[in-house]
C-alpha cells in the first residue's frame, strides 16, 4: 500500500463525534505513519446561519425540552432511505462534498456523524464516490440516520447495535463489532493516588466525578454537588462544568462551605486523568463519554437521561451491569450512598465494564477499515 489518503468527517453537535474521529486518526497514524489525513466538520459545509441554527436548536432542545427531542428522535428512528425527510438530509452540502472529494482524491472516507454518511452514501450509490465509505456508529442504539445503502463498512460498539443493523437489512459481513473508538490515552493505566494528590484531593478517599457535558446539559448539577458536599459518608468530588459558566460560578459558595473536599474545572482536555482518579462518575449518557468510562472501568450513574440516544445508551449500560440510572433526585441519593457504603457493588460494576468492553476499540476499528481497503484494492487489481 502506498501513501494512504484518508478523508474523515465528523460534526461539532456535541463533541463525541469529533472525539471518535480523533481516536480513529490517532490509530491510523500508528498503523500508517505516512498517511495523509484530512478531518473536516460537516457543519462547515452548510451555510453559517443554517449550521448555527441547527446547533443551537439541538442544544436548547436537549437542555430545556428533552421530551420534545425524544419525540423527534423516536419519530425519525425508522424512516426509510427514500423518504422526503431523508432525501432532504441527503442533499445537505452535496455539491461541496463532491467538490472536496474530487479535489482530495481520498483512498477511503470515514464518517462519525450520521447525516454526512447519508449524503456520501447516496454519492457512493451513484458512483460519484468510488472509494470505500465507512460509518462509525457512536451510540449503543440503532437509528435510521445511521443506516444508508451505499455504506461499505459499519463500525459498531456492541452486539445490540450489530443485531439492530442486521434486522434493518444490513449485510452482517459489512458490520464489525469493535467497541466505540476512544483515544488510546483511555487505555493506559494511571496512578489514581498520584492524580488525586496533584488535584489537591485526599488519597484513598472515595471520589465522585460529576461531568456536566461540554454544553452543561446535566440538569441538577448544582444540586448533585450540594448532596456530595453535605454527605455524612466519606467522599470527595471532582466537578467538570464544561462550557457552563453559570454552573462554574454557582459553585463558588458551595465549595467554600463544603464539608467534603471538592474541586471544579471548566472545559478540560485531561478527562482520562479525571476518570482515573474517580471511583464513580455521575454524568449524561453520551456514547463517547460512556465508552471512555467503560474503557477506564469506572462505574456510571446516569442522572435523568435525555429521551433518545442517551436513553438508549443507558439501557445498554444497565444491561451490561456497569451503570445505574437515577430518574429523580431521591433515586440518585439512594444510588450514591448505596455505592459509597458497599464497595463490593462498585467492584462488580467495574468487572462488568471490563467484560463488556475489552478495550483497544480504535485499534480494532482501524484494523477492520484497513482490511476493507486492502480487499477492495486487491479486487480492483484482479478485476
Asked if residue 217 has pLDDT above 60, the reply is: no
Indicate the number of domains in the chain.
2
Q: For the chain, what is the mean pLDDT?
A: 90
Split at pLDDT 50, 70, 90, the class of 375 is confident
Residue 233 pLDDT class (50, 70, 90 cuts): very high
Range scoring the smallest mean pLDDT among 35-49, 69-83, 114-128, 286-300: 69-83
Average pLDDT over residues 184-205: 95
State whether 285 and 200 are in the same domain. Answer: yes
Q: Which residue from 27, 14, 19, 1 is spatially nearest to 361, judged by alpha carbons?
A: 27
In this prediction, residue 213 has a pLDDT band, given cuts at 50, 70 and 90, of: low
Q: Quick one: 158 and 221 in the same domain?
A: no
Per-residue pLDDT at 46 exceeds 80: no
Q: What CATH number does the domain containing 109 carry?
A: 3.40.50.2000
- 352 and 369: one domain? no
User: In this structure, are residues 134 and 153 in contact, taking their beta carbons and an 8 Å threshold?
Assistant: yes
pLDDT value for 383: 61
Q: How many Cβ atoms are within 10 Å of 368's Cβ, its own excluded?
A: 18
Q: How many CB atoms lie within 10 A of CB 47?
A: 10
pLDDT of residue 188: 95
Residues 140 and 198 in one domain: no
> In which domain, by residue range, is 52 found?
5-184+360-382
Q: What pLDDT is attached to residue 216?
A: 52
pLDDT at 212: 77
pLDDT (tens digit, 9 = 90+) per residue, 122-171?
889 988 899 999 999 999 999 998 999 899 999 999 999 999 999 999 99
CA separation for the pair 294, 291 (Å, rounded): 5
Claim to verify: residue 31 and residue 165 sit in the same structural domain: yes
pLDDT at residue 214, rounded to an integer: 54
* The pLDDT of residue 210: 96
3-18 as b/e, with b when 16 or more CB fall inside 10 Å? ebebbbbbbebbbbbb
Give yes or no for a contact between 313 and 291, defined as CB atoms under 8 angstroms apart: no
Grid coordinates of 295:
474503557
Q: How confident is the model at residue 215 (pLDDT cuts 50, 70, 90)?
A: low
Residue-level pLDDT at 301: 97
101-121 pLDDT, tens digit each: 889 999 999 999 998 998 899
10 Å CB burial of residue 326 (0-12, 13-18, 19+) is: buried
Please tell me whether residues 197 and 153 are part of one structural domain. Answer: no
**Full-model pTM:** 0.92
- Asked if 42 contacts 116 with a C-beta cutoff of 8 angstroms, the reply is yes
Do 221 and 303 reside in the same domain of the chain?
yes
Kindly state whether residues 203 and 130 are assigned to the same domain. Answer: no
Q: Are residues 27 and 39 in the same domain?
A: yes
Amino acid at each position: 500500500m502506498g501513501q494512504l489518503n484518508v478523508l474523515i468527517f465528523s460534526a461539532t453537535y456535541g463533541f463525541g463525534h469529533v472525539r471518535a474521529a480523533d481516536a480513529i486518526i490517532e490509530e491510523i497514524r500508528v498503523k500508517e505513519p505516512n498517511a495523509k489525513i484530512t478531518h473536516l466538520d460537516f457543519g462547515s459545509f452548510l451555510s453559517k446561519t443554517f449550521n448555527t441554527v441547527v446547533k443551537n436548536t439541538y442544544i436548547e432542545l436537549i437542555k430545556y425540552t428533552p421530551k420534545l427531542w425524544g419525540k423527534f428522535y423516536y419519530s425519525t428512528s425508522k424512516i426509510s432511505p427514500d423518504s422526503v425527510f431523508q432525501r432532504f438530509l441527503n442533499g445537505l452540502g452535496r455539491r461541496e462534498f463532491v467538490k472536496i472529494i474530487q479535489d482530495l482524491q481520498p483512498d477511503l472516507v470515514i464518517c462519525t456523524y450520521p447525516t454526512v454518511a447519508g449524503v456520501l452514501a447516496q454519492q457512493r450509490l451513484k458512483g460519484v464516490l468510488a472509494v470505500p465509505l465507512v460509518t462509525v456508529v457512536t451510540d449503543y442504539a440503532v437509528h435510521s440516520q445511521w443506516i444508508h445503502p451505499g455504506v461499505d463498512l459499519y463500525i459498531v460498539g456492541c452486539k445490540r447495535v450489530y443485531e439492530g443493523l442486521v434486522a434493518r437489512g444490513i449485510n452482517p459481513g459489512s458490520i464489525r463489532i469493535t467497541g466505540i473508538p476512544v483515544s488510546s490515552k483511555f487505555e493506559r493505566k494511571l496512578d489514581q493516588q498520584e492524580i488525586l494528590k496533584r488535584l489537591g484531593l485526599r488519597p484513598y478517599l472515595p471520589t465522585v466525578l460529576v461531568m456536566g457535558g461540554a454544553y452543561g446539559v446535566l440538569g441538577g448539577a448544582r444540586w448533585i454537588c450540594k448532596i456530595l458536599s453535605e454527605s455524612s459518608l466519606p467522599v470527595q468530588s471532582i466537578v467538570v462544568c464544561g462550557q457552563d459558566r453559570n454552573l462554574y460560578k454557582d459553585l463558588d459558595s458551595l465549595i467554600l462551605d463544603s464539608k467534603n473536599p471538592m474541586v471544579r474545572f471548566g472545559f478540560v482536555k485531561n478527562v482520562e486523568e479525571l476518570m482515573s482518579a474517580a471511583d464513580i462518575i455521575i454524568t449524561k449518557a453520551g456514547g463517547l463519554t460512556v465508552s471512555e468510562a467503560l474503557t477506564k472501568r469506572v462505574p456510571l450513574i446516569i442522572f435523568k437521561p435525555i429521551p433518545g440516544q442517551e436513553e438508549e445508551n443507558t439501557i445498554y449500560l444497565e444491561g451490561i451491569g456497569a451503570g445505574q440510572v437515577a430518574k429523580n433526585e431521591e433515586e440518585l441519593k439512594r444510588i450514591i450512598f448505596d455505592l459509597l457504603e458497599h464497595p463490593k457493588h462498585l467492584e462488580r460494576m467495574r468487572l462488568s465494564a471490563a467484560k463488556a468492553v475489552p478495550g483497544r476499540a480504535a485499534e480494532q476499528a482501524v484494523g477492520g477499515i484497513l482490511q476493507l481497503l486492502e480487499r477492495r484494492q486487491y479486487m480492483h487489481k484482479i478485476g
